[in-house]
Every structure is written in C-alpha cells, then in structure tokens.
Structure 1
Amino acid sequence: MLNILENINDVLWGTPSLVLLVGTGLFLTFILKGLQFKKLPYAFKLAFSKDKEDDGTEGDVSNFKALMTSLAGMVGNGNIAGVATAVTLGGPGAIFWMWIVGLVGMATKYAEALLAMKYRVKNANGEYSSGPMYYIERGIGKKWKPLAIAFAFFGAFAALGIGNSVQSNTIADVMQNSFSVSGLTTGIILVVLTSLIIFGGLQRISSVAGVFVPVMAVFYITAALIILGLNYDKIIPAFNLIFTYAFQPISAVGGFSGIIISEAIRNGVSKGIFSNEAGLGTVALIAGNARTSHPVKQALVAMTGTFIVTIIVCTMTGLVLLVTGFWDSTGGLLSGVTHDASLDAGALTSAAFGSSLGDIGEYMVSISVVFFGFSTILGWYVYGSKCFEYLFGLNYMGIYRIIYVGATFIGTIAKLTTVWAFADMANALMMIPNLIGILLLYKVVANETKSYFGRFYMDTETKKVG
C-alpha cells in the first residue's frame, strides 16, 4: 500500500501540479499587483485590532477568531515533523522552496478567503457555510458541481487522516516516549477533550482557538529563538546553506549524495503546502463565518496566516535543525555533531532542541507537538464538517462527529505507516479542484479588490484623517 501511495504521489506532486500550484500564486500575485507584500502591514492591523466598521455586520465569529481557527488547523505537526522531513529528504534548499510557496501562496490564500465571503450561504442553523465547493458551484455554475463534490469528498475524508488520526498518532507517540503515558490513556483523554469542544459547535471551537493558538505559537517560537541566540554565529551560514542548495545539488559531505534540485523543490513545495495549506482551500471553509464589512478585509486577514506559519514558524524550525546540525546523519555542514540517523522527523526536531537546551528543550518540543496536534484536530474538524455538510446536509452531522472522534482514538493506538503518504495524496486531490475554481474566478477576485481599495479603503482612511 505504501509503495502504491508513493507512486500516486509522484504523479500528483509531479511537475504539472507544482506548476499549477506555484503558477496560480504567481498569476494572482501579478493580477493583484503584489498585494500580499504591499498590504501586509494593513492586513496584520485588521487581524489584531478591532474595526468598528465590522460591528453589526453579518457573520458568526470575529476576523480574529476566524484567523485563529484557521491557524489552529495550520499550526500543527507539519511545522515540526513536516519541516524536518523536507530538510532531511530535500536538503537545506527545501526551506527556500517552502518560503516561495508561502509568499506566492499568500495571494492564493487571499483569493480563497475572498471568494468564500463572496459566495457564502446561510444554513438551516442560521450559521454561514462557505468553501471551494460553494464558490465553484455558485460562482462558476452548476455544471461544475462534480468538481465541487470532489473537493468536498476529499476534504471530509482528508480531515479524518491528515487533520486527525495523523495528529493523534503523533501525540500518542510523544506522550509515550516523553511522559510514559500509554496510547490507550492518551486516546481516552483526547476523545473526551475533542468531544467537549467540537460538540459545542463553531463558537466554542473558535473561542478555544482564540486563546490556545497564540499561547502555543509564542511558546514554541520563544524556545526556537533561545536556541538561535545560543548559536547566533551559525545563523548566517545556515541561510547560506539554504540559498546555496536551493539551486544546486547538495554535496556528499552532508550525507546526501545524489540529491538533486528537484528533490529540494518537491519536498519544499509539498511540505510547505502541508504546513500552510495555501491552495488547499481550507481557509475558505472558515473565512465565510467572519463578521466583516467587506470580503477583502477577511481575505487580507486570512493571508496573514500563511505568513505566520511559513515565514515565521517553519523558518524557526528549519534554522534550529541547521544550526544544531540535526538535518542529516553526519550533523550537517555547520556543527559536525553526529546523531542517530534512524530518528523520525518529529524526534529529530526534539533532539535538535534538546542539544541546546537539554531535557527542557526536548520536553518543550514534546509539549508543543501535543498542543499543536490537538489544535490541528480542532481546526480540521471545522474543515471536515463543512465538507460533510455540503455533501449530506446538517441532519447527519452527528454521524460525522462520532466518526471524527473515533478516528481520533484509532490514531492513538494504530500504526499509521501509510497515513503520511495518504496525507500528501489527499492534499493534492483537494488542491486541484480548488485551484481550478480560483483560476476561473480570478476576475471576481480582481474586481472585488479594486472595489475595496478604490472606494471602501479610501473612505475609511478619509474618515480617520477627518
């Protein structure tokens, strides 16, 4: 099964898909005139400050809570194990390609959130539902509904794997290895906590995420910054490694004889998508619930999530692996410190932190893995439930909740050797219909953006000056 999945992924993540993914981001960057760079400060301002114009507008949660719920799904073990996997398989150059995916992906994420707001619908419970399936069907036309159904199907299914059992499996391993807690005990605890939160609906999930995500992100980044401070003399050389091996094969000195540029690109792109989800359409599944006076405002807020995850969190992980020498079996080109080549990706990151901070460092990563994984379980429930709702309606949501909680428990006690490979496949199968939808609706994105910055934005700035 693993070999079959790997062969499928070689096709799905081959040149055509990479061109579609990066090409869409570049195309939108051009159409939007580099909006993700020029408007980034304004986007952060919208994300982390209250805008009185949004008071009284329709929606279920604030811009901030929508962003935190989205980050709950993004800031997960992909930022720990995913980055380590990308670097060990693709070399330091993979980090560069993660940056590229993140930067151009900000434009893609912007478009996804804007279209989500534009084509959202109100369900029978009075809450908004949004996502690629809605902007494909309502924006392009009903003849494209099979594409919308395909996205919803793979989204609902992927949530059980990539967003749930993969995370609970990683949490169980960490709890066993670091704290001697059995998988069965971890499973029971996760089932109880997950049930208490997801059965409370979107409001409870977003409230938990609003507190949970900022705290755990600051906790992890602080630990990474301490390590970088202790190894400050190796930071510039680490960046040199990243840029050097992004464009040329890595030498055998680092134990990667035969690695070629395509491996750096493939691993950087696929793991970059796994960590920031730009192009998957997941942000569109929560963005439509935001209370905001214009679709562009929530779109700007949503794109900051990609910046936070890729440019900040993933970079921190990558740099720690490089400056400590924990990126290949001989200790890399910087430290010369050897380590156990059999360590898996998550353990590798933990060992890297421990090499500078001792047992405390390893425990900090272990705790981060647990909290990152749990937040991802909550965030991906929102994604999966929205897809399931589109396919089967609200009447059967109880069934999906039970299945979701069951997948959480199974992940803690089962050996999921093929799940990571399945995660890559599911990501691609979500990505393709979503990107097709965005490309066919690019004029809507461009027109809404022009409308806001040509009129609404200027009106707001005029009021402030007055």
Structure 2
Amino acid sequence: METITHFFTVLEDLTWGWALIPILVVFGVFMTALTGFVQLRFFTRMFRVLSPKNEHADPSQISARQALFVSLGGRVGGGNIAGVAVAITLGGPGAVFWMWAIALVGMATSLVECTLAQVFKRTTSDGSYRGGPGSYIRHGLGSQYRWLAILYAVCLMASFAFGFNAFQSNTFAGAVNNSLGIDRIWSGVFLAVVTGFIVYGGIRRIAKASDVLIPVMALSYIGMALLVVVLNIAEVPRVMALIFSNALGLEEAVSGGMGAAIAQGLRRGLFSNEAGLGSAPNVAATAYVKHPISQGITQSLSVFLDTIVICSCTAFVILLSSAYVPGATDVDGIVLTQQALVSHLGGWSQYYLTFAILLFAFSSIIYNYYLGETALSELTGHPMALHVLRVAIVAVVFLGASAPGATSVFFFSDPLMGLLALVNLIAILMLFPVAMRLLKDYQDQLKAGHERPVLDPGQFADLDIDPTAWDASPTAARKPSA
C-alpha cells in the first residue's frame, strides 16, 4: 500500500506539482492568440443559448442549453464555496485576480476541446450522441492511439466517477451535520436514493434535471451574493483595490506574497472551471447543434459563469466580511464561507449555504456519473457493465457521505485527473488545426450572412466524422455508427 501511495504522490508532483498548471496556462494563451481572442469576439453570442427562442433542437435530443447546464452543474461544486475560501486563505485576495485570468484564457481552451468533441461525436443506438476526448483521440488521431483513449478513460472513471463523487457527497454531509446536526448516514441515504433515480434515467433525465436545478442553484447563489454586495457597497472599491494590489505584489497579505496569490488562484481556478482537463467535452458532445463551434462557444460561457461569476460571488462574500483575517491559514474553507455569510446576513444564512452546497454537490455528482458512463463506453460495450457502474456510483456516494474517513481511500483522484489532463492537452494540440478549420468555416458562414452556420460533413471528407450525427433532420431515423 505504501508503494502505491508513493507512486500516486510522485504522479501528483509530476502533474499538479510543477508541470500541469504552467502547461494549461501556456496552452490557454496559445489558443487565445491563434484564434484571435475568440472568447471575446463571440462573447455576446454566448448568451444566446440562454434564450428559449433560440432553442431549435428536436425535443428528443439534448439541447445546447441543457448541455450547458449539465456541464455548468459539474464545474460548479464545492470548489466554488470551499475552494475559493481556501485560495483566499492561502494566497490572499490576489488569488481572485488570477482565478479571473485563468478563466479568461480557459474559455478559449474549452471552446477548442468542446468543438473537437462535437465534430467527432457518434450517434448511439437510442439516437442520442456520445463523444469526448476518447472519441476525438480514436477518430481524430486514429486507431493507433487507441491505447491513449483507454488510458484517458481509466483516469476519467477513477478520478471523477469515483473519487470526486465521494468528495462531493462528503462535503454535503459535513455541511448538513455542522449546521443542522443531522447524522451523516441519513445524508448518505438521501443522496444515494436521489442519485440512483437520476442515473438510471440516463443522459436525458440528467439533462432535464440539470435544466431545472442549475438555474435555481446559480441564480439563488448569485442573488445572495449581490445582496451582500449591496449591503456593503461602500466597501467594494476597497476590496477591488485589495485584490489588484495583492495580485500584482504591491501589498502582501499572506506569506509568499504574489507567488502564493498566483499559485493558489491558478490552481483553484483550473480545478473549478476544468478548462483543458478533458471532462466537460464529454457532456458537450451530447448536444444537438448545427455546427461544432456553436457548442464550443456555449461551453466558453460555462467557464465564464463558473469562475468569473459564481467564484467571484464567494470571494466578495468573504472579502467584504469581518470573518476573513489575512494570514490566518488554519480556517476550514466551508467554515470561513459560513462565518462570512453569518456576519453579513445573520444566522439563517448558514442554513441557506447548506442548501446551496446540496445543490452544488448533487449537480456535480450526476455530472461525474455521466463522465464515468462515457469512460465505460470506451472500455466495454457490455450492457451489464453499465448496471455495475451505476450501483457502484450509488454505493460510493453513500460511503463518501456516511463515512468521513472513506474519502481518504480516493487519494488517487487528483493525480489521475492530472494525468488525464495531460493526455487531453496532447490530443487537442495535435488536433488544433482541425479546430481552426472549423472556426474558419463558422466565421466564413457568418460573414456570408448565415446567422446560424451549419456544418457540411462533405466539406470535411478527410475527417472521420459520423454523418448521422449531422443529419439536418434530427428526427429522421438514425443508425448508430460503427
């Protein structure tokens, strides 16, 4: 066991320790520059997906908006509450600035990886779509890279479907126990039952649940934060000045100064928005859209909402409160956020936060489950395997909530997420010319006056595209691709 633990410790040091964050930053800047700051040029276009009048999908298909909410539900989790608090505690207020910075470049990275997931997606036997890094490795890079797709799938299942689901349920159960005094085992039973109901409904039920859950979750949390800001409006300029001065090294709030702010801001930002990690493309591939770039643009919005909007809500709640003490590093992230809310709004707010954590944790659990299902499809097509996975996920959710020490078993989650991110980055770098061709095609159609560009697979005959996934009539009979 000691040998295994040491192996994963070394793997984490080689990925998150020093290599992965700089690589993700460089990739993000690289893609931002070569796409001509696509995330800024299409920024207003991103929000069109939120309007019901722009929904043109077949009701039997996952719409672009539903895919957005599923991926946003996965990105928005305990990290948006506890993670931001930890970043500020260890890196100072300047960490918030660097979270914003990594989100800005991450929007371009997410656009590229989700575009690739769309163009190489496959139609399944029930008429839905499935894809992601495993698919664009196999169909984009070729069968000789099948081993890379398998490595990716194993890392995805182990880290997200099992490890992170245990952590999310553990976060929720801890918050409920602290604020309401409810024993962890009852939280575990509740989460397990609801999770079982959703996961046995497949991606369509997941999408429908997210379409309702995520707007409520996000808007209520944003509304609460705006209330705090309004109540402390006179202090906002001071907090903004504090964020920028600490980020640029003009004012040191914690030991390590500017270096700590950069390290914590980039790390927590990447953990939160997942841009470049290869997780969100699995959900992006499920959407029925007219052009791959359309879903890439939508997923850029998901990064923006997760980090620049929702993480900022937590940051301002903390920095505007008396609960934050610069240099104090022994405060638990959830506790700091709870204390900050109570100082602003009174004791009732800690119960609201418990409710918010429930929504955040549950949305992440169903998202992580779907990632596991997609990973499983890369490893085996045996129908019994899916049932085994579903039962295992429900069990992991229950154990993670009811047994606090159980999460220590999943020490391999972060190292494996680092490895799958490296695999994904290698793949999208090799396939970046394909993404650029698609972007040019999209922009050329816009210039020609086509408000809603449409992909013509015939224009990309050299690519291994599933033509049934781009049928202009999505209700037409489909045959699953080989």
Deviates more, 1:27-36 or 1:11-20: 11-20
C-alpha change, 1:457 and 1:63, in structure 2 (3 Å) is farther
2:154 paired with 1:153: yes
2:291 paired with 1:294: yes
What is aligned with 2:429?
439
Deviates more, 1:141-150 or 1:306-315: 141-150
2:357 paired with 1:366: no
Distance in 2, Cα, partners of 1:268 & 1:462: 37
Distance in 1, Cα, partners of 2:319 & 2:432: 39
What is aligned with 1:91?
92
2:398 paired with 1:398: no
Cα drift, residue 342 of structure 1:
4.4
Cα drift, residue 4 of structure 1:
7.7
What is aligned with 1:207?
208
Letter paired with 2:440: K
Long gaps (5+) in structure 1: 334-339
Distance in 2, Cα, partners of 1:419 & 1:260: 34
CA contact (8 A) 2:246 2:257 kept: no
- The percent of aligned pairs where both chains have the same amino acid is 34
Cα drift, residue 61 of structure 1:
0.4
C-alpha change, 1:231 and 1:259, in structure 2 (3 Å) is same
Distance in 2, Cα, partners of 1:55 & 1:133: 25
Distance in 1, Cα, partners of 2:10 & 2:237: 37
What is aligned with 1:337?
none
Distance in 1, Cα, partners of 2:433 & 2:423: 18
Distance in 1, Cα, partners of 2:349 & 2:329: 20
Letter paired with 2:426: I
What is aligned with 1:316?
313
Deviates more, 1:412-421 or 1:356-365: 412-421
2:24 paired with 1:24: no
C-alpha change, 1:426 and 1:241, in structure 2 (3 Å) is farther
2:382 paired with 1:379: no
Which secondary structure does the structure 1 equivalent of 2:278 belong to?
A: coil
Distance in 1, Cα, partners of 2:293 & 2:299: 10
Which secondary structure does the structure 1 equivalent of 2:14 belong to?
A: helix
Alignment of 1:204-243 (within 5 A): 204-243=205-244
RMSD of Structure 2 on Structure 1 (CA): 2.4
C-alpha change, 1:288 and 1:13, in structure 2 (3 Å) is same
Distance in 2, Cα, partners of 1:82 & 1:7: 23
CA contact (8 A) 1:47 1:63 kept: no
1:212-261, CA deviations, whole angstroms, 9 ceiling, x for partnerless residues?
A: 0000111111111111112222212212222122232863xx5x3x3243
Alignment of 1:49-448 (within 5 A): 49-51=52-54, 54-55=56-57, 60-248=61-249, 251=252, 254=253, 256=254, 258-327=255-324, 331-332=325-326, 342-395=330-383, 396-416=385-405, 418=408, 422-448=412-438
Distance in 2, Cα, partners of 1:424 & 1:92: 25
Which secondary structure does the structure 2 equivalent of 1:460 belong to?
A: coil
C-alpha change, 1:309 and 1:397, in structure 2 (3 Å) is same
CA contact (8 A) 1:154 1:429 kept: yes
1:116-142, CA deviations, whole angstroms, 9 ceiling, x for partnerless residues?
A: 111011234432210111111211122
Distance in 1, Cα, partners of 2:443 & 2:171: 44
Alignment of 1:28-43 (within 5 A): 28-43=31-46
Cα drift, residue 6 of structure 1:
6.0
Which secondary structure does the structure 2 equivalent of 1:13 belong to?
A: helix
Distance in 1, Cα, partners of 2:409 & 2:162: 7
C-alpha change, 1:249 and 1:291, in structure 2 (3 Å) is same
Distance in 2, Cα, partners of 1:199 & 1:110: 30
CA contact (8 A) 2:61 2:128 kept: yes
Distance in 1, Cα, partners of 2:157 & 2:34: 31
Which secondary structure does the structure 2 equivalent of 1:226 belong to?
A: helix
1:21-76, CA deviations, whole angstroms, 9 ceiling, x for partnerless residues?
A: 01111111111101101111111113434436x4459x830111111111111111
Deviates more, 1:452-461 or 1:426-435: 452-461
C-alpha change, 1:419 and 1:174, in structure 2 (3 Å) is farther
Long gaps (5+) in structure 2: 454-482
Cα drift, residue 456 of structure 1:
5.1
C-alpha change, 1:399 and 1:421, in structure 2 (3 Å) is closer
Cα drift, residue 5 of structure 1:
5.9
Which secondary structure does the structure 2 equivalent of 1:28 belong to?
A: helix
Distance in 2, Cα, partners of 1:260 & 1:4: 32
Distance in 2, Cα, partners of 1:42 & 1:114: 16
Aligned residues: 448
Distance in 1, Cα, partners of 2:159 & 2:181: 30
1:138-160, CA deviations, whole angstroms, 9 ceiling, x for partnerless residues?
A: 11122222222121111111123
CA contact (8 A) 1:166 1:419 kept: no
Distance in 1, Cα, partners of 2:180 & 2:399: 20
Letter paired with 1:410: L
What is aligned with 1:459?
449
CA contact (8 A) 2:133 2:278 kept: yes
2:32 paired with 1:44: no
Distance in 1, Cα, partners of 2:424 & 2:17: 17
Distance in 2, Cα, partners of 1:419 & 1:244: 40
Cα drift, residue 90 of structure 1:
1.5
Which secondary structure does the structure 1 equivalent of 2:44 belong to?
A: helix
C-alpha change, 1:204 and 1:56, in structure 2 (3 Å) is closer
CA contact (8 A) 2:293 2:442 kept: yes
CA contact (8 A) 2:117 2:285 kept: yes
Which secondary structure does the structure 2 equivalent of 1:279 belong to?
A: coil
Letter paired with 1:319: F
1:333-375, CA deviations, whole angstroms, 9 ceiling, x for partnerless residues?
A: 9xxxxxx964311111111111111112212211111111111
